[in-house]
Structure 1
Amino acid sequence: MVIVGITGGIGSGKTTIAKYMSTFGIPLYIADEEAKALMNRSKVIKRKLIQLFGEEAYKNEELNRPYLAKKIFTDKSLLSQMNAIVHPKVASHFKRWLKKQNAPYVLKEAAIIFENNLQDNYDYIITVIADEELRRKRIMSRDNTNKEKIDAIIKNQWVDAKKIQLSDFVITNNDLEKAKEEAIKIHKQLLKITSK
């Protein structure tokens, strides 16, 4: 099974593009959504996160996301430790999911493929890019957050130029209709590649 990673900085619109590509009948795995679900579902993850962050990590049996966000925002080592707990579980969940798929290729949407040096887990990588100011506007309207938090997240991610060098395909998403046209072209190329 050919695994195509789709990545991009926060606010680039990678999830929008990934969901659009899934309308072509391509199975889509959104790593961030699965991670959130596993953090609520998995007893092992729950126990480890409570050990790491304290009882406040969960509120009414649900992950206390604002509390965790505040903690990891000020402490990079906590973020690394949390990722070390969650990422391996997401990876094994993805492997199980992959076995059930039957398509020319699958899409796995993940924000920090390159930052975590995971590019070798993919056959091809699509990077979605957009102007930084536009990305900020999108995040502010979507997440109701402030510029300081957005800049901190952007600073933790690689710059687009660095990602582009390691990517097989790039979609510029300053205009959604044009980005969708690029996505169709890439889908057709991937179908050609996978039918050989």
Structure 2
Amino acid sequence: MLKIGITGSIASGKSTVSRYFSKKGYPTYIADLAVSELYRDQKVIKKLKKTFKIRGSLNLKSKIKKSLQEDKKNLIKLEKIIHPEVRKKMKLFFKKKKKSKIIVCEIPLLIEKKLMKYFDAILLVGANRKNRLKRYLKKGGKRKIFDILDKKQMKQSKKVKYCDHVIHNNKSLDSLKNNISNIIQRYE
């Protein structure tokens, strides 16, 4: 089984790349979806509420995002709860899909969290900051959150040395798909 890790900065197009792999029939693990699932896990909810001193579970995600804006140190607290759980889910995905020829994992902080050892190939999806910010705001994101998350991530230029493939996603969707197809052909 070949494990391909997809990473990149916020709003670089990682999800678009992952969806393309998925449409081509490759089992795909999305760390951000795993995080969303964790917000429905009672054990995790309890930890989050205690850590961030939140009453009730209504709008938990919004309340945590607000706390991230208020104090950047809260992101570290959040990651200490969420990341170990996401890693467990990823390893479980590997076990479930062990008979697959190729599997794909989209993990925004793959390099920052030193997860390279789990993958045979790492694909970096890159885009300039202007395009990434535009995409993020178009999805309803807030600029302040974008800035916090963008600063937390390693610069794209530094990530390159850990990656086997780099896709620059500043052009058309067709151009992006063509680049992905070229990478897929190398491994089929």
When the two structures are superposed, what TM-score results if normalisation uses the length of structure 1? 0.87
Contact preservation (8 Å) 2:3, 2:121:
yes
**Dislocated runs of 4+, deviation >4 Å:** none
Matches within 5 A, 1:157-196: 157-175=153-171, 176-191=173-188
* Unaligned residue ranges in structure 2 (runs of 5+): none
Partners of 2:102 and 2:163 in 1: CA distance: 17
Partners of 1:164 and 1:129 in 2: CA distance: 9
2:52 paired residue number: 53
Q: Structure 1's 178 and 158: CA in aligned 2 closer, same or farther, altered over 3 A?
A: same
The answer to whether residue 101 in structure 2 is matched with residue 92 in structure 1 is no
Contact preservation (8 Å) 2:8, 2:108:
yes
1:13 paired residue number: 13
Structure 1 residue 144: Cα displacement: 4.2
2:32 paired residue number: 32
The answer to whether residue 22 in structure 2 is matched with residue 2 in structure 1 is no
The answer to whether residue 118 in structure 2 is matched with residue 117 in structure 1 is no
Structure 1 residue 86: Cα displacement: 1.6
Aligned length: 186
Aligned-residue RMSD, C-alpha: 1.7
Matched-pair identity in %: 30
Between 100-109 and 8-17, the greater mean CA deviation after superposition:
100-109
Please state whether the residue corresponding to 2:12 is helix, strand or coil.
coil
When the two structures are superposed, what TM-score results if normalisation uses the length of structure 2? 0.91
**What is the CA deviation profile of residues 157-176 of structure 1, one whole-angstrom value per residue up to 9, with x for unaligned ones?**
11111111110111111122
Report the AA paired with residue 53 of structure 1. Answer: F
Partners of 1:107 and 1:134 in 2: CA distance: 25
Partners of 1:56 and 1:184 in 2: CA distance: 48
**What is the CA deviation profile of residues 115-144 of structure 1, one whole-angstrom value per residue up to 9, with x for unaligned ones?**
222222222110001121111111111124
Partners of 2:120 and 2:69 in 1: CA distance: 32
1:194 paired residue number: none
Contact preservation (8 Å) 2:72, 2:148:
no
